[in-house]
Amino acid sequence: MGEAKQKFDMPPRAERNKSAPFGMKDKLGYLFGDFGSDFFFMLVSTFLMVSTQTFLILVPQQ
């Protein structure tokens, strides 16, 4: 039985890398994503700090 050989023709490198440039919309999207992530982290860490002090009754030394 003969082997079926399949030939994959790759387009030239210039044609393969035709993607949209990284524009201002992309930069703003990453900016707002970073702000959202940081805000969520601050919210969770503040909640954990307050709840830990409340549940463990950690009173600061006077």
pLDDT digit string, tens, across residues 10-61: 666 656 667 778 899 999 999 999 999 999 999 999 999 988 888 887 666 6
Q: What pLDDT shows up at residue 55?
A: 80
Q: What pLDDT shows up at residue 39?
A: 97
Q: What pLDDT shows up at residue 58?
A: 65
Handedness of CA 54, 56, 59, 61 (dihedral sign): negative
The one-letter code for the residue type at 15 is E
Q: Which structure tokens are listed for 37?
A: 């992530």
Distances (CA, A) of 53 to 19, 27, 44, 57, 62: 51, 39, 14, 5, 16
pTM score of the predicted model: 0.55
**Phi, psi angles (nearest 5°) of residue 33:** -65, -40
